[in-house]
Amino acid sequence: MTERFTGNFTQQEPIPDDGIEAALDVLRHGRLHRYNVAEGETSHTALLEQEFAAAMGSKYALACASGGYAIATALRAVGVTPGDRVLTNAFTLAPVPGAIASVGGAPVFVEVTKALTIDLDDLAAKVAGPDTPKVLLLSHMRGHICDMDRLMAITDAAGVTVIEDCAHTMGARWNGTLSGRHGAMAAYSTQTYKHANSGEGGLLISDDPDLMARAIILSGSYMLYERHLAGPPAEAFERVKYVTPNISGRMDNLRAAILRPQLARLADQCAAWNARYQVVEQGLREVPGLTLIERPEKEGYVMSSFQFLLLDWAEEDVRAVVARCGDRGVEMKWFGGAEPSGFTSRYDSWRYADTPSMPKSDRVLRGILDLRLPLTFSLDDCAQIARIIRDVVGSVFQQAR
């Protein structure tokens, strides 16, 4: 009998009960705006920032309306202005080049490797010339972390400021250092499919007082920046408060209230995601025609999704795998399609940016298949998903030979 999976790939876990109670309390008193507090009260948003800074080991943190807004704010804070060229990954999602374009910058795409990380050889070449872009917006796309020691050596030598997009790596590490702690600033997402869920939301961290003071003013603090428990000292704001525009994008107390209990459980949740990832990984080993992404020993990953490669397969065969897995209840996204679909697009889909030919990246992108692993799936569910993929890939591979 042919197996069919019946789970829902977009169904997340419920918000924890203490988060629901905190949210109901905010709804009852009606003070949703982060600066609207009663006498003696500290807002949930300010407390979330304080707790997130402590969890990430950073000096400062800012809660934002979305991860994309957090990235754009970081770009503005480090001084990106219209016309500036900004390096970023060829393999990422639309909000990353979109944030660059939103501040008037021009994305400069860096190749992707078969490990689904930024190609450090290509990066080194792109920062070697006289017209080196001064900022790298590094996307840890789908939770895959490159050799951060080598990357920082390359960028430091070239005088390139690094902003980390950690939308998929909250709680992950490279060589023991938390993701987000290598660059000048790091942005995180709390959109529904990320490691903490507030529907939409973002967080921004930094150890630099001037960068964070600019970010807080940009976010729409008016002159209420002293209410930021995880903000820099007052003198940092004195240097920037009259010359930094208000581009409102604050998080509200309702979202912060449901995020705080999730943050407290982050370590356990990360372990649960990785357990599911590892079951699928084990189930897909040694499948003819299928390439797994081997993880470096120094990478402490957090994987709420799974990717594998069908390298050099014909397009019709990749589409057959996606369709047959879909017929059996396993939903996968393909990054090789010529047209964007749903959340999935590729560098040449973003026609507001210069998109030179990148055959090395094209080969990798044509092979990437991607699926979510929500915590509503059991380990047995993940084993069944792997069996179905294994069966379908094996069958299509044999038919194509």
Q: Classify residue 357 by its DSSP letter.
A: -
Q: Which residues contact 10 (CB under 8 A, 6 or more apart)?
A: 193, 372, 374
Using pLDDT thresholds of 50, 70 and 90, give the confidence band for residue 356: confident
Distance CA 371, CA 254 (A): 30
Residues 190 and 144 in one domain: yes
Each residue's pLDDT tens digit, 66-100: 999 999 999 999 999 999 999 999 999 999 999 99
Report the run of H or E that residue 317 belongs to, with start and end.
Answer: helix 315-327
Residues 214 and 362 in one domain: no
Q: Does any domain span residue 3?
A: no
Contact 207, 59 (CB under 8 A): yes
Using pLDDT thresholds of 50, 70 and 90, give the confidence band for residue 343: confident
Residues 75 and 175 in one domain: yes
Q: Does any domain span residue 11?
A: no
Each residue's pLDDT tens digit, 362-372: 999 999 999 99
For range 125-152, the mean pLDDT = 96
Q: Does any domain span residue 5?
A: no
Q: Does any domain span residue 351?
A: yes
Residues 242 and 271 in one domain: no
Residues 49 and 26 in one domain: yes
How many whole angstroms from its chain centre is CA 54?
20
Residue that is last in its domain, among 248, 264, 280: 264
For range 119-143, the mean pLDDT = 95
Mean predicted lDDT score pLDDT of the chain: 96
- Output the pLDDT for position 341: 87
Q: Give the 3-state secondary structure of residue 336.
A: coil
> 339 is in which domain, residue-wise?
266-400
- Output the pLDDT for position 363: 96
For 73, left (φ over 0), alpha (ψ -120 to 50), or beta? alpha
Residues 297 and 236 in one domain: no
For range 115-122, the mean pLDDT = 98
CATH of the domain at 23: 3.40.640.10
Predicted confidence (pLDDT) at residue 52 exceeds the cutoff of 90: yes
For range 47-58, the mean pLDDT = 98
**Quick one: CA dihedral 23, 25, 27, 29, positive or negative?**
negative
Q: Does any domain span residue 142?
A: yes
Q: Does any domain span residue 8?
A: no
Q: Classify residue 250 by its DSSP letter.
A: B
The structural domain count of the chain equals 2
Residues 212 and 94 in one domain: yes
Contact 193, 171 (CB under 8 A): no
Nearest partner of 75 among 192, 183, 195, judged by Cα: 183
Distance CA 46, CA 219 (A): 13
Residue that is last in its domain, among 264, 299, 322: 264
Predicted confidence (pLDDT) at residue 8 exceeds the cutoff of 90: yes
Residues 281 and 246 in one domain: no
Residues 201 and 108 in one domain: yes
Residue that is last in its domain, among 220, 249, 264: 264
Predicted confidence (pLDDT) at residue 130 exceeds the cutoff of 70: yes
Predicted confidence (pLDDT) at residue 158 exceeds the cutoff of 90: yes
For range 59-64, the mean pLDDT = 98
For range 332-342, the mean pLDDT = 90
Q: Does any domain span residue 6?
A: no
Token couple for 70: 């957090």
- Output the pLDDT for position 1: 64
Distance CA 268, CA 376 (A): 14
Distance CA 86, CA 68 (A): 16
CATH of the domain at 306: 3.90.1150.10
For range 6-12, the mean pLDDT = 96
Residues 46 and 93 in one domain: yes
Q: Does any domain span residue 58?
A: yes
Predicted confidence (pLDDT) at residue 400 exceeds the cutoff of 90: no
Residues 230 and 286 in one domain: no
Whole-prediction pTM value? 0.97
Token couple for 84: 């500036």
Predicted confidence (pLDDT) at residue 129 exceeds the cutoff of 90: no
Contact 146, 117 (CB under 8 A): yes
How many whole angstroms from its chain centre is CA 373?
15
For range 214-231, the mean pLDDT = 97
Predicted confidence (pLDDT) at residue 51 exceeds the cutoff of 90: yes
Residues 355 and 229 in one domain: no
Contact 172, 195 (CB under 8 A): no
